[in-house]
A and B are shown apart, each in its own frame.
Chain A
């Protein structure tokens, strides 16, 4: 099973997502309006030895993938961890076209399922499975010709399905990502302990799960203790995000604390400045050093 890098670079900062302030979010959206501004930051991260970019399947990411494909010499080790789907794309489509219309919107117009989705008849179980696979393939199109060793399902979808108990969708995702893309499936969630149990019931062992893990327990739903129990159990390959709890924990203290947790393989973080990128990289090398040796 392929090892993940210790430090993964995220993309929230590029798309006006900031959990602290709407003003900061807008300033970031302005700054990263041009794809070149995103590339400039990615270049800083890449040159600092951060090779993995975990990104939503936002339309703008297609342009980033384009740049990476166009310069294989420069980006020989550049790795994408696609996270799908970009939830707002779907949410807005549902508002605009209704549930069925949204689904049709994202399916190939002439495809096998276009007729199945007219709503005229009941969908067979096999067709539900087929639709999920086609949706995954549509999202993966933009990454053609790049490295995508881990593919994630986004937290809003994961948690919606988890709450409803529609866990078979996780299994379909798992199987399709493995067979079609030769990649490891990953799941982003705000409810890690509950998801871990659900994945195990679907026969998925030692899953890659990305969730908030931070010293103050911010957005660790299901409870801080349940998270630590899951990590200690060795049943999960964990990726920690929100390690700074949106800035509430000093960087050194945050990374040091994470480094002493069992079961955390990687940290996912986002930053826009070279200073913050280099700062986090230095802390991760210091407390979780493996890359230095790799």
Chain B
């Protein structure tokens, strides 16, 4: 932890004890500023935990909201439940951290962003790649303009999630928010939103099933920004050659080439740039070791700890907005996924090309909506 803590602890509930929820519970419960409870309807985990940990485990979300004094909730339930559960928490004036993808219907996400902003509560979504040192460095470099005019982007994610035909879970049902698009592609798309804002046009999308019956296992798409770059998206969660999920972004501009994954950030500069005094012309490499800040508690990567630390600290310090990954920014990513779905289904380009009279504003109404 970098800064001394001077604020009082907050009361926080972690809701949903599945794969992500369990690790969120572990990290939140270990945070010095958090008095933690958990909540899950399912039997086994609730059962084992309630007899082995000291944090109270609730079984009914609405009852818990009604009866327990809380400042904040962390929602890590299946995606389809995000919108109603987030709304219930916001209605009670609670700060909310929600797992990604935010809402399956992006207009729900925008409405919840409006509500959270009106309530003045901290609202954040778990797009943890924005907390990876190498991607933060990539963002910093892009923002200096050192790359020149960015023209060419490749956004990739690969990993070994679905490797054979198998029994369905919510993660493999499209209606439940499962599938490679929502689970995997959401991450590189969210990074592209961070770097370039909302895209104006999506073409060439293919959502392909390899092993899954109910949903997609690979995603391809071409995403374009007005007066900006064209990005190629290539995502596959049925690739056993990867030990675990690997997300990588390559960006080519008129003054060089920038690449980042979780481990390192590589920059080739054609000419040295004044805004990057620590980078030379030619190749530069920075590794996780130097780009990483230690977490108060490490479970599965600094980025997971870092995003929760930001959320808890913002709530404890009575902030009214998150440092990163606001509902609004996450809803923007939900919208891009909706564009890809529509494009894949209809085969028709989605975005500006369909409605040439649309506003020329760079970020459409998403960056400035509701103001």
Contacts and interface: CB of A to CB of B under 8 A. Distances in A.
Interface of A: 15-22, 25, 29, 88, 91-92, 94-101, 119, 122-123, 125, 128, 156, 159-166, 168-169, 190-191, 194, 216-223, 245-248
A128 B262 CA distance: 36
B144 interface: no
Contacts of A247: 287, 289
B26 A163 contact: yes
B263 A125 contact: no
A88 B244 contact: yes
A205 B347 CA distance: 65
18 contacts: A20-B289, A25-B243, A29-B243, A99-B44, A101-B167, A119-B43, A122-B43, A156-B299, A159-B26, A161-B26, A162-B30, A163-B29, A165-B55, A191-B298, A221-B294, A221-B296, A223-B1, A248-B289
B26 A98 contact: no
Interface string B19-49: 1001101110110000000000001110111
Contacts of A15: 243
A194 B297 contact: yes
B44 A164 contact: no
What 3 A-B pairs have minimum CB-CB distances, sorted nearest first?
A: A163-B26, A190-B298, A221-B298
B264 interface: yes
Contact of B19 (A95, A159, A166, A220): A95
Contact of A160 (B22, B54, B262): B22
A85 to B, nearest CB: 15
B52 interface: yes
Contacts of B160: 92
A217 B290 CA distance: 11
Nearest to A221: B298
Interface string B43-76: 1110111011111000000000000000000000
A191 B47 CA distance: 27
Contact of A119 (B44, B52, B296): B44
A99 B18 contact: yes
Interface residues of B, number: 49
B270 interface: no
A20 B261 CA distance: 10
Given A190-B298, A222-B296, A125 B51 contact: yes
Nearest to A242: B289
Q: B30, B246, B248: which has the most chain A beta carbons within 10 Å?
A: B30
Given A88-B243, A190-B298, A165 B29 contact: yes
B171 interface: yes
Nearest to A18: B263
Given A99-B18, A194-B297, A19 B26 contact: no
Given A95-B161, A194-B297, A220-B294, 17 more contacts: A17-B243, A21-B263, A22-B246, A99-B18, A123-B44, A123-B48, A156-B300, A159-B297, A160-B23, A162-B26, A163-B27, A163-B30, A164-B26, A166-B49, A191-B297, A219-B298, A221-B298
A166 B244 CA distance: 26
A10 B231 CA distance: 41
A21 B264 contact: yes
A119 B53 CA distance: 20
Contacts of A25: 243
B13 to A, nearest CB: 14
